[in-house]
Each structure stands twice: as C-alpha cells, then as structure tokens.
Amino acid sequence: MQHFNFDEIIDRSHSHCEKWDKYQGKDILPAWVADMDFKSPPQIITALQERVTHGVFGYTAVDDETLQTIVDFIKRHYNWEIQKEWLVFTHGVVSSMNLAALCVEGDTVVTTTPIYPHFIKAPKFAGKEVFTIAMKEENNRWTIDFERLEQAINPTCKLFMLCNPYNPGGTVLKKDELEKLATLCVKHDMIICSDEIHADLILGPDAQHIPIASLNEAIAKHSITLMAPSKTFNIAGLQASFAIIPDMSLRHAFQKKMGSMVGGINLLGITAMKAAYQYGDAWLNELRVYLRENLLMVQAFVTKNPSLKLLNQEATFLAWIDASALHVKSPYEFFLNFGVGLSDGAPFGDANFVRLNFGTQKAMLQNVLNRMQKAMDSLKD
Ligand SMILES: Cc1ncc(COP(=O)(O)O)c(C=O)c1O
C-alpha cells in the first residue's frame, strides 16, 4: 500500500532552487543537478516546523540521541557497527572530500574517471597531482580496472578517492571488488576516502551497498567514509553530512584541517538528519520503488533509441547516457535545443555523455523523455 505521494507536482520556482532557477523564464525542463523534485518525508517537515517554532537559533551541538540515531541507522541498513566518536560532522560531503585530500600525506591521489568533478578538484585544491583510472565496461556495468589501478600506484600515492555507489554510472561495487580495493589500499598503505552519499539509493534487484570500511579492521583503519542524508531524503539545501573515521590519528588530522575554517553542521540540518534516520525508512522504501519505476521509463526510452546507450544502473537517480553514436558536437547542447537541461558529461570527464536526473515526478519525467524523443526523431529527417 502506498502512503507517500511521489506524483505530486511541487512548484519549485521562487524557492531558492538551483535546479529550476537555472532555466527560469525559458522553456527548458531541468534534469541536471543531483537533487529530487519530491517533498521530504513528512516527519522531517514536522521536526523542522517544531524546531522553527521554538524560535531561538543559536550556536549548536550534536546531542547524544542524534549520534545514537546515526549509529542505529548504519547498523540497521549496512550491518556496520560504528562508534559515536568516529563521527565528524561537516556541512557537506564536498567539504569533507577537500579535508580528506588535505589531511592525508603524499603528493598524489588516485581516483577513477569519469567522475563527479570534486574528486578531481579536491586533490588539486590540496596541491596534489591526480592519477585517474578510466572505469571499464564489464558485463554491461561500469567497474574499476584493477589491473591499471595496481600499475598506477606508486609510493607517492597515499590516498584513493572512491565513489560508491558511483556517480556517474550508478555502479554499486560488489563485495569481491571492495575486497580487492581494500587489499590494495592496505598493501600500499593508502587511505581510502569513500564517498557513499548515494548509499541509500540502491535500485538494482541484486545490488547491495557495503561500506568498504565495514569489511575488516585493517581497511577501517585506512578509511574516511563520507555519508549524508542529503540525497536520500532530499535535504541537500540543509547542509548536513558526516565523515566516519575509525582511526583516531587520522580523525584528528581531519579535524585539525577543519580548524576554524570549516564550520560544523547546521542546526536545521541536524534536526532534519535525526528525523530522517529515526523515521524515514518507510518513505525511503517507497522512494526506491518509485525510482525503480522511473528508471524503467528511462531504460525503455534508451532501448527505443539504439544510438543511445545506458549500462546497468544499480543505484542513484542519475542515468549516465552514452550519446557518442549521435555524432553531434555536444549531446548536452543538442538536447538543450529541444528543451531539456541535462548535465553535460564534459565536467565529469566525457563530453560524449549526458546525465539525466530521473528523481522527479513521472509526469515530469515523461515530458523530459518526450522532448528527448523529439530530439532523437529530428536526426532521422
Ligand atoms: C558523489 C557525490 N558526492 C558529493 C556530492 C555533494 O555533496 P554535498 O552536497 O554534501 O557537498 C554529490 C552531489 O551530487 C555527489 O554526487
């Protein structure tokens, strides 16, 4: 039985909304930046309303009950037992990626490509060189090229930046893949910064999210895991996230880099995070069902248009579509001209791709796909 109405269209104009403001006044449907068009779970909205009614918004701290709520959520969903003191709060995962790049020694950082741009930007900002390993297609899914990765690692590499689930591409790394990666990191004494912001948005029937740090103690000691309720419960604007750092000296190094420059979590962010992790499971289950249906719509569209290609999408609401066979100069510009604002693949590392955000109402997604179909049909003339 459905309890939550994901079909409800919400007018997001005039709401300080990056996604919709970008094309304000233009006949362009936005399907880019990674937030969803749904209302957050009602329990989050009520918790925020109650906190706002309180009326005093002074300096804030994370209370023990909230810490326990996070610990319980991670145990319940990932069977990973973390300690409260491992948690370090920041206002965003991108800030934490930068802190990770700053606090780990070594002149080079390794990551994969194409990837969410901050995986490249953060190490560069920390003054480090970045080695990128191209993701490879295997069994209709994007995965890590372990052979090339092992070849690329040298003694200057002290940090591997992992995105799991993967953005873009939607891969959820399997246990044996994570074990390989963990073994490599421990063997070469590399820290792994594992961005798991999309962990709760698993769509593939056989996919399961495993935090890499939960595999064993050795990799836990080499890990900085980044999580947040922001993508899952559509509260990115509230800026609340956390790093899980089991090793005390690594945690202190991370906190030292925060210093007084990177403020902690936002008061309303804590309020929303606590409500989300306490009461959000039922909403999340229904969200995943809805997103799976949306993904089927996207897959049907791609199947109908064989010059587009989409590999197995195991997680996230972001479809990474290969448009190279269209032979247009910029697939992003091409679809924009037909009124759809996708994410351009170029900043992720491949301009032949576009990324379609399907975290929206079905009616909206259908409009997006209709316009994209018109674009595709125009090539037949
Ligand atoms: C993999 C990944 N990491 C981090 C972020 C952004 O995180 P935050 O808004 O907490 O900085 C995104 C947003 O799209 C993302 O996809």
Give, for ligand 1, the residue of 19, 33, 91, 94 to mutate: max count of ligand atoms closer than 8 Å to Cβ. 94
Note the pLDDT of residue 374. Answer: 98
Note the pLDDT of residue 1. Answer: 58
Note the pLDDT of residue 63. Answer: 96
Task: Supply the range of the domain harboring residue 185.
Answer: 58-279
Note the pLDDT of residue 368. Answer: 98
Q: What percent of the chain has pLDDT over 90?
A: 96
Shared domain for 274 and 295, answered yes or no, is no
Q: Read off the tokens for 124.
A: 């560069």
CB of 195 within 6 A of ligand 1: the answer is: yes
Shared domain for 37 and 180, answered yes or no, is no
pLDDT one-digit tens code per residue, 99-158: 999 999 999 999 999 999 999 999 999 999 999 999 999 999 999 999 999 999 999 999
Shared domain for 203 and 189, answered yes or no, is yes
Work out the mean pLDDT of the chain and round it to a whole number: 96
Do the bridges between strand 340-344 and strand 29-31 make them parallel or antiparallel, or are there none, so unpaired? parallel
**Cα-to-centroid distance, 5 and ligand 1 (Å):** 26
What three-state secondary structure class fits 223?
Answer: strand
**Within a domain: residue 13?**
no
**Within a domain: residue 10?**
no
**pLDDT value at 2 more than 80:** no
pLDDT one-digit tens code per residue, 34-82: 999 999 999 999 999 999 999 999 999 999 999 999 999 999 999 999 9
**Within a domain: residue 35?**
yes
Q: Please compute the mean of the pLDDT values over residues 227-244 and round it to a whole number.
A: 97
**Within a domain: residue 135?**
yes
Q: What are phi and psi for residue 336, nearest 5 degrees?
A: -60, -40
Shared domain for 133 and 64, answered yes or no, is yes
**Cα-to-centroid distance, 93 and ligand 1 (Å):** 6
Shared domain for 274 and 301, answered yes or no, is no
**Within a domain: residue 237?**
yes
**Within a domain: residue 6?**
no
CB of 228 within 6 A of ligand 1: the answer is: yes
- In order of 118, 196, 307, the CA distances from 95 in angstroms are 10, 14, 38
Last residue of one domain, picked from the residues 253, 279, 305: 279
Query: For the domain that residue 307 is a member of, what is the CATH number?
Result: 3.90.1150.10
- In order of 125, 130, 228, 234, the CA distances from 118 in angstroms are 10, 12, 16, 20
SS3 content of the chain, % helix, strand, coil (to 5): 45, 15, 40
CB of 94 within 6 A of ligand 1: the answer is: yes
User: Which residue CA neighbors atom 7 of ligand 1 most closely?
Assistant: 93
Q: Which pTM value belongs to this model? A: 0.97
Last residue of one domain, picked from the residues 236, 264, 279: 279
**pLDDT value at 320 more than 90:** yes
Number of domains in the chain: 2
**Cα-to-centroid distance, 374 and ligand 1 (Å):** 31
**Within a domain: residue 9?**
no
Note the pLDDT of residue 13. Answer: 87
pLDDT one-digit tens code per residue, 201-222: 999 999 999 999 999 999 999 9
Shared domain for 269 and 293, answered yes or no, is no
Q: Please compute the mean of the pLDDT values over residues 322-337 and round it to a whole number.
A: 97
**Within a domain: residue 213?**
yes
Query: For the domain that residue 117 is a member of, what is the CATH number?
Result: 3.40.640.10
**Cα-to-centroid distance, 304 and ligand 1 (Å):** 31
Shared domain for 270 and 313, answered yes or no, is no
**Cα-to-centroid distance, 380 and ligand 1 (Å):** 38
Please give the distance of CA 325 from its chain centroid, rounded to a whole number.
27
Q: Please compute the mean of the pLDDT values over residues 354-368 and round it to a whole number.
A: 98
Shared domain for 171 and 87, answered yes or no, is yes
**Cα-to-centroid distance, 197 and ligand 1 (Å):** 7
Residue the block writes with tokens 């891969």: 171
CB of 197 within 6 A of ligand 1: the answer is: yes
